[in-house]
Amino acid sequence: MSVTREERIGLFIDSISLRQAADVVQLRLDFKRLLALFRQRGRLMRAHYYAVALPAAGAHPQKPLLDWLTFNGFSVVTHNCANVDEATNALSLAVDIAVDAMQLAQHLDHVVLVSQCRELQRLIEALKMMGKRVSVISTLRNHAAPDELRRAADAFLDLHDLRPILSAEAEVSENA
């Protein structure tokens, strides 16, 4: 992913897809490293993290993570869903991501989507028609990343290949 330092980057993370892809590649993601990666590749204008909250579940199980993200440079968007079906919830997040990405597109040069939701293909096509570069982060392992997303994007980054950069375990071994 070659970029210029002046490139304005927007990062949009679908938490459902990220969790699934991270599980497949057995990655415990260090979100500080994720921010640092994109801050060194350009001007990170926005980093959005989209999560689902189920009203029946009481307190959000990811509340500590969401709080940390909020205090460390992410805009956290929590979508209240009455449905426990993960596929339906993933579509709800995709709608939120698409709306936010289109609203911010005029302020961005490069949109990075962390998702495996094939319904975002139209978003990618629309952003590219606006002259934006679009990268998708997911994994090819277990066929998690749909072909439609990979073909539509300008670049595809496999989470497995990013493990040495983004792994929380790497921090532990560096300090050992």
Q: Which domains does the chain have, with CATH numbers?
A: 8-175 (3.40.50.1010)
pTM of the model: 0.88
Beta strand 133-138 pairing with 8-14: unpaired
**HSE of 153, CA atoms in CB hemisphere, 13 A:** 27
- pLDDT confidence of residue 173: 42
In this predicted model, what pLDDT tens digit does every residue of 57-106 receive, in sequence order? 556 678 889 999 999 999 999 877 666 666 677 788 999 999 999 999 99
Residue 158: closest CA among 137, 133, 142, 131: 137
Question: Using CA atoms, how far apart are residues 46 and 111, in angstroms rounded to an integer?
Answer: 10
